[in-house]
Structure 1
Amino acid sequence: MALVEWRRCGPGSVRPAAAVRRRSWPPRPRLATLWLVPATGPTMLSPPQIVCLLIIALTLLLLITEWLRADVVALGAVVALVATGVLSPEQALKGFSSEPVIAVIGAFVLSAAVVNTGLAERLGQWVTRVAGTHLLWGLLVLMLAAALLSALTHHLLITALMVPIATTVAARGQFSVSRLLMPVSLSASIGTTLTLIGAPAFLVADHVLQEAGREGLGIFSLTPIGMALVACSLVYMLLPGRWLLPERVAGGSSGARFALDDYYTEILILDGAPQVGLSFAALAQRYSGRFEIIDWLRRGDPIRHGREERSIEAGDVLLVRSTPEGLADIADEKGLALHAVAKYGETADAATAEQFGDERLAQLVIAPRSYLSGRAVGEVDFRHRYGVIVVGLWRREGWLRGELSGVRLQPGDTLVVWGEPEQIDGLGAQREFLMALPFRTRRLRRSRAWWALGILGASVATAATELLPVHVAFLAGAIGVVLARCLSAEEAYAALELRVIAFIAGAISLGAALEQTGLTTLAAAEFAPLLDGFAPFWILLLIFSAGAIITQVLSDAATVVLLAPIVARMAAPLGLAPEAMVASLAIGAVAAFLTPLGHHGNLLVYAPGGYRFGDFFRVGAPLTVLFAIITALVALRLWPGG
């Protein structure tokens, strides 16, 4: 190494001083910058550039090793950039008011409205019915539904929604659920390429293009590429890919986990209820999807023969199996009441229904050597002994019939109890119970479902027609669903994934530091000559590959933040449109299906499908190569030149 003086003669250019002299450390103050010169030539980095690179290197190390949470790392990088003077406070905090962050906030709230109004539940029921029991047809329906739904809502939400649906379809068709879950996760990831708001990485890519002086991407700019990728994934999985899918049983069945969809409870038909006079079949159809009727009791006697045409009477008791949401819905349903609350509670009128809330519900797990084990629910005076009323029961295995009071408790059973908060708080210390847990549920606002769907559609249409920018359109939609009472303001704030928002804002600040210090220009000047002479197709293929590989250790948004500014500046020397290069990078970061670490959706299906690490590479590597080819070809047609 030789210590050499260099002077700048213009932006991005350097020349040696008139006389290159060996100097002692430290240099005189008048020297512009001091450089280390390796044998191959000078490495021209200014102190701010060196500091910026060190901060980025430390940030990447922490993200890869996961020693700290990703959002904490990103916020720490923002502080470091300001503390070292690389960015001013205004520049560093600009990411928190950036368009990607605002758009993501709107998308989170709109997604919450879709779930909170029961739209997601209805879609899930429809998909379950249509999917049938045949493997190929089930694959087609589940993959297509996951892809289309992920275009407008968070793909993790859709993957989580599809896991129980795929499990049900596999059980009906008597084939392994591992044949379905990986394609579902894949489709949910690929579906994000159908719109700009499908993944934060695309919003970041749009932001980078606008910062580079381009118009940016419209909400459907990536749709032609996304449609081609969805079609490719369907053909691949239905033909050669399905032979690569493992036939494997998961390590633990879905019933072995603490499920929330098998609670048993009793519903009382009140006097004057609108359900009185309905046939049993009509009642079951009306509440299909909200609860399943297991048994029907009248004056304590079960009605099981010829009951489809018999009419419901006041005082009838229905033993039903329901979700937590269904249990909460019963309190709001006119004419229905929880039997135990109506029988043993202080009142059975609307006042009791108003008291039925999250703060008065708890789950009690029966301990292995509990006094309650082997005793029927009716034999134990829960009201006087513990100050609570049993309103529901969850059991890992088995089918319950008859009155809930006659069910004999077993170790591991979970009771849903109703009572005063101070009584519930003390139950965790009782030796009869292994633990006491809050009963987490939400009340679905089903009557507002069409409002949520209409506002979501209006937000997309407004952004697509460019009446409003994408981030403004979705922020307006978020305000709209709150005003339409699809969810409360508190629920809207709770829907915000602050980790994601903080990470995106911090990552954008890192991208601003690269731009501010001139590192993007320097990197583009170094890398562009390496690709000079390559055909445009191969350039886009290489850029897609870079995004696909790096996203296996970083998130898709972080990959785009770090590489997109460099890629955008390489476009002009290579004679390509910046949109084509940045879009290829972003899609590579989102659509690469190589390991279970590449996307959180893969981790969501990893255990339920009984997968191994190599399963994802065996299935996904050929498909990722096809995605790279398709992306390059279609991008060149959409953006033919610089």
Structure 2
Amino acid sequence: MDLHQIYFLIILVAALYFFISEKLSVDMTAMLIILSLAITGVLDAKEAFSGFASEPALIVCAVFVLSAGLAATGVTDTIGNAVAKFSGKNQLTANLVIMTTVAGLSAFTHHLMVTAMMLPIAMRISRENEIPSSRLLIPMATAASLGTTLTLIGAPAFLLANGILKRAGEPALRLFSVTPLGAVLVLGGFVLILLTLWVLPKTSGRDKADERFRINEIFTELLVPEESRWIGVSLEEFKKETAKRFEIVGMKRYNQRLSILQADLVLQHNDLLLVKTTPDELLSLDERMGLALRSVKKYGEQLEKNKPVDGKPRDVKEPLIVQGLVAPQSGLIGKTVGEIDFLHSLGVLVVGIWRKEGWIYHELSQVRLKEGDMVILWGDEETFDTINADSHFLLLFPMNLRPKKRFKAKLASAIMLTSVVLAATEVLAPHISFLLGAFVMVATKCVSLPRAYESIEVKIFVMIAGVIPLGLAMEKTGLAKLFAENLAGVIHHWPPWAILLCFFSAAALLTQILSDAATTVLIAPIAVAFAKDMHMSPTAMVVCVTVGAVASFLTPIGHHGNLLVLGPGNYRFVDFLKIGLPLTIFIAGATVYVAGLLWG
């Protein structure tokens, strides 16, 4: 054993210690790996830092941005609402719809994002249909992980495995090369999950997101602007199309109240709609969608022209929407919004009101404020700094949600679809295709540049960049071949299916304490070297290792998606094993068999 091999083993042991103990975060551990390999000379500087420019790292970044574009334009919300609509009222139908959706989304976006997005939807389905959340959430999180086996970009581990195969001189996997195997795992996994649902407890926990966004019915006024696409549309049809976005509680035309129960009522220019909506929808209202906040439409320009005391023009480039909680004994209590005249007295507009108890059916200007009312204000940062100093409001804080550019939903969907098609048909290399899609998503303003950067999970990017040179060093030092030769001396007489099962099992166990990416990078090089020595298919071996790393469900700590549903489902540790153990056994057998058929 030479010096570089000794250095590598020391670095490997240290990396495993930090990955498992979490004494250092995964990104810090990855940087430590890169620096250690470069300083010791195990790899030269170019090789040590090659992970940052690698295809897997670039594709993961691009997919994060593409996913952010879908979220920013409301595409993911539309999907979530469709799931809630078609989930039915029984446990079986709800699980089928939820699992199918998350598996499909996880094939092209990060499964953790999909699980987080669908968690409040599943909790709502549980609450509205009286289905125990424990019977929905483990199946949902498991389906999200299974969905990553449907495409090459579903999980970073597959991208890393593909890189290892290409370095070994093997044919590269294409975007849908693993789809036949993934389809078997998804379909078989669904059947097994539905058959074993009875082993899960009938409990329901709380979704922390529900607590965070309890202000879910804001009263506001919407105006039908000139050239709105809703002009000439019947109120009945309008209500059906916007039912998931807001509830109409009143309507006015030329200051006359109209009954919203009239079957023949047709929307006209300047109609005023009194509605209840969510904070998310309030922030997402855009005149390009055919509706406008009445107070902003009517007084917004006047607010921007207002001048402060020093006589200098007020610059309102980025208006803020802020929540103000009316304080006890505030001078606002008992006065109507119109009497207070927020525009001239405070320099802001009232665009909505939330009240914990009671109903609001009047125009905003006629609403008499009470202690504890949450007033939604529209204005600029400078003005809110001034208002924050007075005693009218107990709390004044920005709404912690982002507006959705729903008018760009079709464009964002088209960009995502085009990226997938270009990669699948190999018109462009996958990393170029998805990076181009991410660029276009930002260039067309489907997602803002700051939000695009925020969407990239830097820890995951740096971890991938760090584990790639670890695998490269294992190959370069000859340790992968050495481990493979020693292993061959023990199991060379085993049948091919048993050898494949052995490598799958090693990855399935190791991924319980390491990430799927780290597990793949450590075992796949050994699998390639072993396969070449034994005249087996390196591709079949590496695919078994990768599936073992990404689709092993023995414990809740093996997948971060499981940790997301642990509390909301009110699960115990053993609950994951009840479904996870039989499912992992099925996946092992199916993977070995199908991989042998496809690449054996």
TM-score, normalising length from structure 1? 0.83
Amino acid at match of 2:3: P
Q: Equivalents in 1 of 2:549, 2:146: separation in Å? A: 11
Please state whether the residue corresponding to 1:417 is helix, strand or coil: strand
Q: Which residue of 2 aligns with 1:594?
A: 554
Amino acid at match of 1:450: K
Q: Which residue of 2 aligns with 1:104?
A: 60
Q: Equivalents in 2 of 1:175, 1:373: separation in Å? A: 44
Name which of 77, 83, 97 aligns with 2:39: 83
Q: Equivalents in 2 of 1:492, 1:58: separation in Å? A: 34
Q: Which residue of 2 aligns with 1:287?
A: 242
Segments of 5+ residues of structure 2 without an aligned counterpart are 307-313
Q: Which residue of 2 aligns with 1:486?
A: 446
Contact 1:548/1:588, CA 8 A, preserved across alignment:
yes
Contact 1:277/1:311, CA 8 A, preserved across alignment:
yes
Contact 1:523/1:566, CA 8 A, preserved across alignment:
yes
- The CA deviation at 1:203 is 0.2
Q: Which residue of 2 aligns with 1:499?
A: 459
Contact 2:233/2:267, CA 8 A, preserved across alignment:
yes
Contact 2:333/2:368, CA 8 A, preserved across alignment:
no
Q: Equivalents in 2 of 1:599, 1:583: separation in Å? A: 19
- In 2 relative to 1, CA 298–564 (structure 1 residues): closer, same or farther, beyond 3 Å? same
Q: Equivalents in 1 of 2:524, 2:121: separation in Å? A: 37
Amino acid at match of 1:536: P
Contact 1:150/1:192, CA 8 A, preserved across alignment:
yes
Please state whether the residue corresponding to 1:362 is helix, strand or coil: strand
- In 2 relative to 1, CA 386–604 (structure 1 residues): closer, same or farther, beyond 3 Å? farther
- In 2 relative to 1, CA 456–316 (structure 1 residues): closer, same or farther, beyond 3 Å? closer
- In 2 relative to 1, CA 78–432 (structure 1 residues): closer, same or farther, beyond 3 Å? farther
- The CA deviation at 1:193 is 0.3
Q: Which residue of 2 aligns with 1:170?
A: 126
Q: Which residue of 1 aligns with 2:142?
A: 186
Q: Which residue of 2 aligns with 1:607?
A: 567
Please state whether the residue corresponding to 2:323 is helix, strand or coil: strand
Q: Which residue of 2 aligns with 1:28?
A: none
Q: Equivalents in 2 of 1:630, 1:396: separation in Å? A: 54
- In 2 relative to 1, CA 567–285 (structure 1 residues): closer, same or farther, beyond 3 Å? same
Contact 2:284/2:406, CA 8 A, preserved across alignment:
no
Matched, 1:454 2:414: yes
Amino acid at match of 2:463: F
Summarize deviations over 1:587-622 as a string: whole Å, max 9, x none.
111111222222222222222222222221222111
Q: Which residue of 2 aligns with 1:66?
A: 22
Amino acid at match of 2:586: L
Contact 1:366/1:372, CA 8 A, preserved across alignment:
no
Matched, 1:417 2:373: no
Q: Equivalents in 2 of 1:384, 1:349: separation in Å? A: 12
Q: How many residues align?
A: 591
Contact 1:133/1:170, CA 8 A, preserved across alignment:
no
- The CA deviation at 1:80 is 2.1
- In 2 relative to 1, CA 422–191 (structure 1 residues): closer, same or farther, beyond 3 Å? same
Q: Equivalents in 2 of 1:180, 1:550: separation in Å? A: 27
Name which of 587, 593, 599 aligns with 1:633: 593
- The CA deviation at 1:50 is 2.2
Q: Equivalents in 2 of 1:78, 1:397: separation in Å? A: 58
- 1:396-415 mapped onto 2 (5 Å cutoff): 401-404=361-364, 406=367, 408-409=369-370, 411=372, 414-415=374-375
Summarize deviations over 1:436-458 as a string: whole Å, max 9, x none.
43334444343443333333333
Name which of structure 1's ranges 311-320 and 116-125 shifts more when overlaid on structure 2.
311-320
Contact 1:324/1:440, CA 8 A, preserved across alignment:
no
Contact 1:107/1:474, CA 8 A, preserved across alignment:
yes
Q: Equivalents in 2 of 1:260, 1:211: separation in Å? A: 54
Name which of 282, 288, 307 aligns with 1:327: 282
- In 2 relative to 1, CA 264–318 (structure 1 residues): closer, same or farther, beyond 3 Å? same
Q: Which residue of 1 aligns with 2:89?
A: 133
- The CA deviation at 1:633 is 0.9
Q: Equivalents in 2 of 1:396, 1:93: separation in Å? A: 55
Please state whether the residue corresponding to 2:558 is helix, strand or coil: coil
Segments of 5+ residues of structure 1 without an aligned counterpart are 1-44
Contact 2:120/2:207, CA 8 A, preserved across alignment:
no
- The CA deviation at 1:468 is 2.9
- The CA deviation at 1:66 is 2.2
Cα RMSD, aligned residues only: 3.2
Summarize deviations over 1:227-265 as a string: whole Å, max 9, x none.
1111112111222x2102221121467643335754432
- In 2 relative to 1, CA 112–51 (structure 1 residues): closer, same or farther, beyond 3 Å? same
- The CA deviation at 1:533 is 1.9
Greater relative CO, 1 or 2 (CA 8 Å, sep 6+):
2
- 1:432-451 mapped onto 2 (5 Å cutoff): 433=393, 435-451=395-411
Q: Equivalents in 2 of 1:149, 1:372: separation in Å? A: 51
Amino acid at match of 2:188: C
Contact 2:217/2:279, CA 8 A, preserved across alignment:
no
Q: Equivalents in 1 of 2:322, 2:32: separation in Å? A: 39
Name which of structure 1's ranges 226-235 and 609-618 shifts more when overlaid on structure 2.
609-618
Contact 2:325/2:393, CA 8 A, preserved across alignment:
yes
Question: Which structure would you say has the larger Rg?
Answer: 1
Name which of 186, 191, 196 aligns with 1:230: 186
Q: Which residue of 1 aligns with 2:309?
A: none
Amino acid at match of 1:148: G
Q: Which residue of 2 aligns with 1:562?
A: 522
Name which of structure 1's ranges 199-208 and 163-172 shifts more when overlaid on structure 2.
163-172
- The CA deviation at 1:58 is 2.0
Q: Which residue of 2 aligns with 1:38?
A: none
Q: Which residue of 2 aligns with 1:266?
A: 221
- In 2 relative to 1, CA 97–317 (structure 1 residues): closer, same or farther, beyond 3 Å? same
Q: Equivalents in 2 of 1:415, 1:596: separation in Å? A: 42
Q: Which residue of 2 aligns with 1:153?
A: 109
- In 2 relative to 1, CA 63–355 (structure 1 residues): closer, same or farther, beyond 3 Å? farther
- In 2 relative to 1, CA 340–480 (structure 1 residues): closer, same or farther, beyond 3 Å? closer
Q: Equivalents in 2 of 1:86, 1:260: separation in Å? A: 56
Q: Equivalents in 1 of 2:440, 2:207: separation in Å? A: 42
Q: Which residue of 2 aligns with 1:347?
A: 302
Contact 2:151/2:175, CA 8 A, preserved across alignment:
yes
Q: Equivalents in 1 of 2:260, 2:140: separation in Å? A: 41
- The CA deviation at 1:151 is 0.9
Name which of structure 1's ranges 393-402 and 609-618 shifts more when overlaid on structure 2.
393-402
- 1:187-206 mapped onto 2 (5 Å cutoff): 187-206=143-162
Please state whether the residue corresponding to 2:148 is helix, strand or coil: helix
Q: Equivalents in 2 of 1:284, 1:400: separation in Å? A: 19
- In 2 relative to 1, CA 126–331 (structure 1 residues): closer, same or farther, beyond 3 Å? closer
Q: Which residue of 1 aligns with 2:98?
A: 142
Contact 1:377/1:409, CA 8 A, preserved across alignment:
no
Q: Equivalents in 1 of 2:331, 2:13: separation in Å? A: 58
- The CA deviation at 1:323 is 4.1
- In 2 relative to 1, CA 133–409 (structure 1 residues): closer, same or farther, beyond 3 Å? farther
- The CA deviation at 1:176 is 1.7
Matched, 1:51 2:7: yes
Contact 2:511/2:558, CA 8 A, preserved across alignment:
yes
Amino acid at match of 1:58: A
Amino acid at match of 1:248: T
Please state whether the residue corresponding to 2:302 is helix, strand or coil: coil
- The CA deviation at 1:209 is 0.8
Contact 1:281/1:308, CA 8 A, preserved across alignment:
yes
Matched, 1:122 2:90: no
Q: Equivalents in 2 of 1:271, 1:97: separation in Å? A: 50
Q: Equivalents in 2 of 1:619, 1:490: separation in Å? A: 41
- In 2 relative to 1, CA 597–293 (structure 1 residues): closer, same or farther, beyond 3 Å? farther
